[in-house]
């Protein structure tokens, strides 16, 4: 993978097909946690075109109908998929993506009713932009092209991916975070003292540690590239 670099009109980076498909898969998962579906989103936005109000209304309608389907669906007790979020009474990742907006529980509930859907729709939109941006079939297969207008969406999308991975990795404080980065170093070879001892990734947790570290690094490189652009004026 290559860090983001500013270019005329946007930014470029490099990521192999495998790396891009991992990020796309993560984006898809986070969209799902938020109550969306990436393919539905893409189909819908292609149907309504670029009118932002039409897109917004379509997204709200989509979430409404999904919620209604859940209310109507009384067969869900038979579902045996352990990853299905219906079985998680409190999905920590969803809670971190959409935390309370007040320390007063009543106020928090009121604010959640007012704002949750709008925030979820915005997050889904960023993640879809990120997903689509990575899904390229240009001749230069490793090239990642990010137009200026999409930079904020990608920054936010990578952040939400980080929030979910960190929650799954139980990162509760700075020490936990440091431990995860060090652990990831064992597999990626970024810890240069261990070049000869690169170990195979065997567990889901190790995989998540590596993905978290990669996303962090890539997000930070985009921030640096955006700063460089700002300074150039």
Partner 1 sequence: MPANNPHPQTTPLGRTVLAPTGQWATVVHNDPINLMSYVRWVFENYFGMTVAQANDCMLRVHHRGRARVSEGGREQMERDAQAMHTYGLKATIEPLGDAE
> Which runs of E-coded beta strand occur in the chain?
2-7, 10-14, 143-147
Q: Is 176 in the site for partner 1 (CB under 8 A)?
A: yes
- Selected from 58, 101, 201, 207, the binder of partner 1 by CB under 8 A is 101
Taking the C-alpha atoms of residue 104 and residue 79, their distance in angstroms, rounded to an integer, is 35
Minimum CB distance to partner 1 smaller for 141 or for 182:
182
Taking the C-alpha atoms of residue 194 and residue 139, their distance in angstroms, rounded to an integer, is 35
Adjacency order of strands within the sheet including 143-147: 2-7, 10-14, 143-147
- Selected from 5, 136, 177, 186, the binder of partner 1 by CB under 8 A is 177
Q: Is 59 in the site for partner 1 (CB under 8 A)?
A: no
The site that binds partner 1 (CB under 8 A) totals a number of residues, namely 36
Using the 8-state DSSP alphabet, how is residue 233 labeled?
-
Phi/psi at 184 (nearest 5 deg)?
-60, -35
Q: Is 5 in the site for partner 1 (CB under 8 A)?
A: no
Residue 185: count other Cβ atoms within 10 Å of its Cβ: 18
- Selected from 72, 174, 200, 202, the binder of partner 1 by CB under 8 A is 174
Chain residues binding partner 1 by CB under 8 A are 97-103, 107-108, 111, 114-115, 118-119, 122-123, 152, 155-156, 159-160, 162-163, 166, 171-174, 176-177, 216, 219-220, 223-224, 226
């Amino acid at each position: 993978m290559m860090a983001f670099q500013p270019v005329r009109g946007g930014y470029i980076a490099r990521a192999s097909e495998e790396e891009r498909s991992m990020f796309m898969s993560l984006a898809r998962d986070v969209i799902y946690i938020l109550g969306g579906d990436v393919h539905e989103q893409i189909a819908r936005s292609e149907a309504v075109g670029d009118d932002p109000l039409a897109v917004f209304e379509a997204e709200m309608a989509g979430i409404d109908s999904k919620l209604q389907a859940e209310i109507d669906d009384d067969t869900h007790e038979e579902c045996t998929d352990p990853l299905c979020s219906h079985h998680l009474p409190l999905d920590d990742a969803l809670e971190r993506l959409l935390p309370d907006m007040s320390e007063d529980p009543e106020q928090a509930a009121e604010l959640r009713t007012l704002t949750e859907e709008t925030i979820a729709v915005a997050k889904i939109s960023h993640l879809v932009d990120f997903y689509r941006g990575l899904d390229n079939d240009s001749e230069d297969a490793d090239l990642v092209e990010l137009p200026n207008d999409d930079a904020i969406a990608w920054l936010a999308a990578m952040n939400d991916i980080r929030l979910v991975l960190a929650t799954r990795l139980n990162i509760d404080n700075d020490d936990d975070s440091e431990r995860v980065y060090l652990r990831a170093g064992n597999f990626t070879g970024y810890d240069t003292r261990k070049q000869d001892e690169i170990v195979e990734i065997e567990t889901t947790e190790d995989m998540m540690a590596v993905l978290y570290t990669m996303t962090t690094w890539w997000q930070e490189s985009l921030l640096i590239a955006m700063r460089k652009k700002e300074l150039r004026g």
